[in-house]
Amino acid sequence: MLRAAFFALFVLSCAPPSPSIVRTERGADERVMRIDRRDAMVESDSGIRIAVREVVAVGAPGPRRVPVVLVHGLGGGGVSSFDSPIAGYSLAEDLARAGHAVTVLSVRGWERSTRPPALEAPADANPPAVSSDEAVRDIGAVVASIQARDRRPVALLGWATGAHWVGMYATTHPDAVSHLVMLNTIYGTPGAWSMRSLLEDSEHPGEFARAVGAYNLRDSRSMLRTWDAGIPVADKTIWRDPRVSEAYASGAVASDPTASQRTPPSVRMPNGPLRDSYLLAGGTKFWQAGDIRAATLVVRSELDHWSRPEDVAALQRELVHARRIETLVLPQATHFVFLDRPDHGRRQFVDAVERFLAQ
């Protein structure tokens, strides 16, 4: 029963790069700005290769700014989340235009990155796959690969589970991180959580559901359910461009080479982040905010189903050693704010991030 409900809701060592993907456009000052994309692989743990996409603007005006690493959450991987092919909706491209060299990564188990063996077996044959520790090691490998050629500290931007991961990384690598942006994150503080009833073991209250296996299968429709639920109007196109939501969902599904073996086509999503998020929302701390030294921006969408006001308050209270702390609540914005229409939170979010990183 739990599993049915769960699926209903949810649901540098580089390899030779693929050919660069180039988009060229003319900026406001009429100079041509070329957006270059380069796909590569970074070695993490033994046998684990992490897919990265580097996005840079050639001809961007102004000084070279801090390198930025974008870390996805539980849903779509890095590219489907942060580098939408729909003009005006790629966060990576926005930040590249502002003068940042941007790296989009996909943690093991997502998109082109190595899938752990548990994802190749039946879902119920193994416990939830991909732990926070593994994700943080993947982030560390990517940061190290960037700093091998650019010794400056990097800025990390994480979304949802990705924000938990970047916070965890920043506590143990304070010299590697200059800026930290955490969007719609859970922090280890107790409080009500909308997902708890779906993930709790009905026979063992207070424990993560034992029926949840290594991964779950999500088709394009299920990729959009929580987004649909977060938009408070019947006509979802008022809030988001249907081309953007289609690109996000279909891109995530198409990234799984086994997708076409199932009807409808679906992507294998690791469940380890669900288990860890359940523990975080119950008050388990994987890391201490007081250990973070980077300037930190905590952003929460008012209509977010994942994070809670308690998480923002706890981070404000505990980020005592951060060089700078800023918090922002985006009114009437959803969990997917950077993919929503500009006048429904996207513009405010992107502007806030660019201002924060420029300081």
Q: How many CB atoms lie within 10 A of CB 277?
A: 24
| Distance separating alpha carbons of residues 341 and 322, to the nearest angstrom | 32
Query: Is it the case that residue 349 has pLDDT exceeding 90?
Result: yes
Helix or strand or coil: residue 2?
Answer: helix
Give the confidence band of 16 by pLDDT, cuts at 50, 70, 90.
Answer: very low
The tally of domains found in the chain comes to: 1
- Name the residue among 122, 50, 107 with its Cα closest to residue 273: 107
Q: Kindly indicate the confidence band of residue 61, based on its pLDDT and cuts at 50, 70 and 90.
A: confident
Residue 175: domain span? 2-358
Eight-state DSSP code of residue 316: H
Q: Are 66 and 155 in contact (CB under 8 A)?
A: yes
Length of the chain: 359
Tell me how far CA of residue 219 lies from CA of 48, 51, 86, 246, in angstroms. 25, 22, 21, 12
Tell me the per-residue pLDDT of 114-129, one tens digit each, with 9 for 90 and over. 999 999 999 999 999 9
- Residues 306-344 pLDDT 10s: 999 999 999 999 999 999 999 999 999 999 999 999 999
State the average pLDDT for the chain.
92
Query: SS3 for 196?
Result: helix
pLDDT in the model for residue 326? 98
The CA–CA distances, whole Å, from 170 to 81, 175, 199, 324 equal 22, 9, 28, 14
pLDDT over 90, % of the chain: 87
CA-CA distance, 312 to 176, in Å (whole number)? 24
For 91-114, write each residue's pLDDT tens digit: 999 999 999 999 999 999 999 999
Q: Which helix (H) or strand (E) holds 54?
A: strand 49-58
For 292, residues 6+ apart whose C-beta sits below 8 A from its C-beta are: 167, 170, 171, 174, 180, 319, 321, 322
- Is-contact 229 57, C-beta < 8 A? no
Residues 171-207: pLDDT tens digits? 999 999 999 999 999 999 999 999 999 999 988 988 9
Q: What CATH number is attached to the domain comprising 37?
A: 3.40.50.1820
- Give the mean pLDDT of 157-177: 98
Query: What is the Cα 32 distance to its own chain's centre?
Result: 30
3-state secondary structure of 140: helix
Cβ neighbors of 24 (< 8 A, separation 6 or more) are 32, 33, 34, 35
Pick from 218, 220, 269, 274: which is nearest to 109 by CA?
A: 269
166 or 29: whose pLDDT is higher? 166
158 pLDDT exceeds 80? yes
